[in-house]
Structures are given as C-alpha cells and as structure tokens.
C-alpha cells in the first residue's frame, strides 16, 4: 500500500479559482499529494484542477476529511460518496475523521466501523484521524486494530511542537501529519529561524519544513504562489545539523493557533 507522501499540498482556506490555480500549479511543479476536507468547500475545485491537469489518478494521493455532522454510521458513507463525486474519482487514498465528535455525540467505534466499511467498499484505501489527543488516538488504534490508523493530522509548528502526541503516535505506529507547519507565517519572522535560513542559504519556510521532515512528519503546506510552492518542494533537499535541530526544538512555547470553541477536544 502506498505510504503517505512526506510533502503534499494543503488546501485549507482556498476556494473557487484560488483552489483550482493552487492545485493546478502544484501538479505542474510535481506535487502528487493533495489534502482537502468536506468543510473546506473546495472538493469540486480540487477535482476540477486534477481532471484538467492530465495527471493520471494512480499517480496521486488524495486525502479528504469527514466533517463532524457526517460521523454517524448512516451519514458517513453517503457523505464520502458525495466527496468522491466532487473530486471526480472513484476512491480517495486516505479518509480522516476531521475532528473528534463534539461531546462524543457519535461514539468513536461507530465512526470507525463506518470508515472500515467504506474501505471494504473501495471508497478509501486508508483511514485515519485528525485533531486527536493521545487518549483518543490510542482509543482509535485499539478499536480499529494495529496498523489500521494511518495518521493523526495535528497542528504542529516550531511554536507548538506537540512532542507528547508525536511520541505517542510513534509508539502506536501512527504517522503524524503536521498542519499549520509554518504557523500562518508567524514563525518565519523568528530570529532563530531567519539566522538558520541565512546560514543555509535557504528561506525561513524551507528551514521550518526541513525541520519537520527531519522529525519524521508528513507535511501539507499550502500556497497560492508558484514561487512558494516550488520553494517548499526544495525543502526536501535541505539537511539541518543536530545543533540546528536543537535550536529549533528550543522554540517550542505551546502556542496553539487552531482551537475552535465547541469543537476542539481537551488538548494534551
């Protein structure tokens, strides 16, 4: 089974033509992993860009995420089929629970059973979770079985390094996918990161992406600018020293940027 690509394209906050242009440019540059979600309201745009690109479906790794309203056994598969219609594909490579069910209104076991059925039907190749705490992630692994939860997609950047969750994921055999890796651009102004960029003749974004890649995480940064999309790809060639990684580790200050009231779990 295809591994989760280490560097893909995120599409959060991109809609309409902006989403089409970003995905089209990324595909032309060589990106082959695309991350979207039902709540992003851009699955149709992503699907159109892919269809117009001429890139063969088997070359792509598509991820979408099930919104909280569709987590029940009755609603999940119909909602996923609608996502597939919008994406113009018969299957996605990875389907995630976008957020834990608020107040556990839908039992996690029921959602995972529906995801397992979606996989048996060929609607998705792999399943995973997003925004799960250590406890919820362990519950998911216990319910789904060893090796069944492909990833936990969480906010992770230099100012919120989420080490405890990352360590728990590794112990459970779950890949961490970092979202908001560049911290809405905030971390790019950090003097430590800027100094590392100057030393390596790289951009601050490349330094941050290289740091997260060296930690073993998968990444889905987004951009609407061709220059930034191309630059992000080049981060895979940048190697930071142990001292560089230690300097990056020291930047952690637990600064969470995504914490929606009524939706977020009690964070670790």
Query: How far is the CA of 185 from the CAs of 158, 181, 222, in angstroms?
Result: 11, 9, 11
Q: What is the pLDDT of residues 77-95, one digit of tens each?
A: 999 999 999 999 999 999 9
Which positions are catalytic? 40
| Burial group, residue 261, by CB count within 10 angstroms (0-12, 13-18, 19+) | exposed
The ranges assigned to domains in the chain are 9-249
Q: What is the pLDDT of residues 18-38, one digit of tens each?
A: 999 999 999 999 999 999 999
Q: What is the pLDDT of residues 94-120, one digit of tens each?
A: 999 999 999 999 999 999 999 999 999
Whether 1 has a pLDDT exceeding 90, the answer reads: no
Gap between the Cα atoms of 77 and 85, Å rounded: 12
Domain 9-249 part of CATH 3.30.465.10: no
Sign (positive/negative) of CA torsion 131, 102, 128, 30? negative
Q: Please, which residues bridge with residue 127 across strands?
A: 95, 149
Q: How many residues would you count in the chain?
A: 268
Please, are residues 252 and 163 in contact by the beta-carbon 8 Å criterion? Answer: yes
């Amino acid at each position: 089974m295809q591994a989760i690509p280490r560097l893909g394209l995120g599409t959060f906050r991109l809609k309409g033509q902006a989403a089409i242009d970003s995905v089209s440019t990324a595909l032309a540059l060589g990106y082959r992993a695309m991350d979207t979600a039902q709540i992003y309201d851009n699955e149709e745009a992503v699907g159109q860009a892919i269809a117009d690109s001429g890139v063969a479906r088997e070359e792509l790794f598509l991820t979408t995420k099930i919104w909280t309203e569709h987590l029940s056994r009755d609603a999940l598969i119909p909602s996923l089929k609608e996502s597939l219609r919008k994406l113009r594909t018969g299957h996605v490579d990875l389907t995630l629970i976008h957020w834990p069910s608020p107040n556990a209104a839908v039992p996690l076991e029921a959602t995972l059973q529906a995801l397992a059925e979606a996989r048996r039907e060929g609607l998705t190749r792999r399943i995973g979770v997003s925004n799960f705490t250590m406890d919820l992630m362990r519950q998911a692994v216990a319910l789904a079985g060893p090796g069944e939860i492909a990833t936990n997609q969480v906010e992770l950047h230099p100012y919120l390094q989420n080490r405890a969750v990352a360590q728990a994921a590794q112990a459970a055999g779950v890949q961490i996918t970092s979202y908001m890796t560049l911290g809405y651009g905030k971390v790019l102004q950090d003097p430590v990161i800027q100094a590392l960029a100057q030393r390596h003749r790289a951009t601050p974004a490349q330094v941050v992406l290289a740091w997260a890649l060296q930690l073993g995480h998968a990444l889905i940064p987004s951009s609407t600018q061709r220059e930034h999309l191309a630059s992000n790809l080049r981060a895979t060639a940048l190697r930071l020293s142990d001292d560089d990684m230690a300097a990056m580790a020291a930047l952690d200050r637990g600064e969470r940027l995504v914490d929606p009231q009524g939706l977020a779990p009690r964070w670790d």
